[in-house]
Structure 1
């Protein structure tokens, strides 16, 4: 189960991984916490259109269905409204009433627990404590995902939300690491072409932050699924400029330089060894997750 903040996040973060596992017959579900109603219209074909939030919401539902079909995954809406992007001090954010980040986390955790207990995933992916980047919906997605991971297997938590189910492993998407961008950037320059990552790299260098790659524990080979990844992202037509930098690097070059997607193992209730090359490492031999009190206390710490 891949839990994301908005439709299109599932296609820009870990899409090749979900396509890979789906192709192998693994049941894969994407959960979108919000409808993405407040996303910017980044495709030039839509920028000039006068659309209200309801128009955008309807379009994004169609786009998400198309992307899920391309990736071969199931999809569920958690059912909350996009909070919009906010900059500056989070304490000063003015969130839209009834939006995802303004709601009660407890209510949202229960909603995700219901989906977890129905779908019964062994592995869950989501964002780290910073949300991958500081969008209020991404940060709340982390809070809700962690809460559901901890609560889903506990019969005392949300007893009316279905039969308890213990998720065995929790991962954070590592995403757009500086190490990956630099490797591809240098390979593109070596061909004599212009790199789509020049501005990103310069911006990163000016920021006081660590490279997300430093947290990577798990590397999934996904080069055979780059095309599905890109096709799924293009399916989010309101959000994605078809001529954007996302699609500027030839797949063969990318395959030769960086053929994996990275994750950070946030928790495992089954024994595993790092580094990993499979999200199901420790599970394919039939290991039973540790649901003891000690494990529960470790989750709460």
Structure 2
């Protein structure tokens, strides 16, 4: 197989669109084979509005199943097949936040047996044979325990997939590059400054409230302007979790904090050799430098 192949590992439905939706849509439109692997069903999420409020964990506990539907539609709008879940749908449960009862659930992702989860991820890598793998940074973007766990397992699996480890998980394959998805501080700040009007129920973010990383840590910036309509449509598909403004320039989660929809998505290369860089010493293509 010679086509470009990209694997993105995310913790919950909607995570794939929030920080990497433009990247997914761009590469899918360019003909790359893009696979999104989700680690939980997002059962512990909050719900926007009353229509589906009864689905939440402490009521009907049916939110995870409904979010499979949302994820299926979002991925279709981004131009990729799915969904696909680590270990199969429902294998591990959304852990919620640290210190909550949901984190003590034996099925919670934070309580997953590392060897079992890593082997399952190695099997996906060896099946998909991605040239590029994308996951979170060590803080999981904003500290959610499932994001941190996804980071740990993905980094371990990416390192093991090309070795003789886990002999029952398929033929070894070593991804050429591994990136962390991040948000650049300066781009976020500029995006917030461009927000001129928001719904009355929303509020602007407080200084430092939205997670980001220093500009100098970013090694790749992917232009997703041509994919923004697809990203907006995918965000809207996650209607229990995300609201897109009428202008299409910003969105909010259940906390009603306005966040800009950025024209670039940012990454940090952590495994592999950096490819051709722009004048600001950043790659503009995650596949740059890979021989096909």
Which band: TM-score by shorter chain? 0.7 to 0.9
Whether the 8 Å contact between 1:39 and 1:84 is mirrored in structure 2 is no
Partner-residue secondary structure (3-state), 2:232: helix
C-alpha distance in 1 between matches for 2:16 and 2:49: 18
Equivalent residue number for residue 63 of structure 2: 56
| Paired positions, count | 268
**The residue matched to 1:200 in structure 2 has which SS?**
coil
- The correspondence of residues 69-84 of structure 1 with structure 2, limited to 5 A, is 69-75=76-82, 76-79=84-87, 80-84=91-95
1:210-234 deviation line (CA, Å, top 9, x unaligned): 7343321101111011111111111
On the 8 A contact 2:232/2:244 being kept in 1, the answer is no
Q: Distance in 1 between matches of 2:121 and 2:272?
A: 19
Change (3 A) 1:210 1:2: closer
Q: Which has the higher helix share?
A: 1
The two structures have a TM-score, normalised by structure 1, of: 0.79
1:226 corresponds to which residue? Answer: 228
Instruction: Return the offset for 1:82.
Output: 2.9
Indicate whether 1:38 and 2:40 are aligned.
no
Query: Unaligned 5+ residue runs, structure 2?
Result: 1-6, 252-259
CA contact (8 A) 2:49 2:240 kept: yes
Is the CA contact (8 Å cut-off) linking 2:222 and 2:284 kept in structure 1? yes
Whichever of the two has the greater Rg, that structure is 1
Q: How does 1:160-239 map to 2 (within 5 A)?
A: 160-175=168-183, 177-189=184-196, 193=197, 199-204=204-209, 211-239=213-241
Cα deviation, residue 17, structure 1 = 0.6
Query: Contact between 2:95 and 2:110, CA under 8 Å: does it hold in 1?
Result: no
Conservation of the 8 A alpha-carbon contact between 1:36 and 1:81: no
Tell me by how many angstroms 1:269 deviates. Answer: 5.0
Q: How does 1:81-120 map to 2 (within 5 A)?
A: 81-87=92-98, 94-120=103-129
Structure 1 segments of 4 or more deviating over 6 A?
A: 195-198
2:12 partner SS = coil
How many angstroms apart in 1 are the aligned matches of 2:246 and 2:146?
24
1:20 maps onto 2:26 in alignment: yes
Evaluate the alpha carbon distance shift between residue 268 and residue 131 of structure 1 in structure 2; reply closer, same or farther with a 3 A threshold. same
Aligned mates of 1:171, 1:81 — CA distance in 2:
24
Structural RMSD (CA): 3.0
Question: 8 Å contact 1:3–1:30 — kept in the other structure?
Answer: yes
Question: TM-score, normalized by length of structure 2?
Answer: 0.81
CA–CA distance in structure 2, aligned partners of residues 244 and 266 of structure 1: 37
Superposed CA offset, 1:39-88 (max 9, x none): 111244323567522x2122111111111111112332103333333247
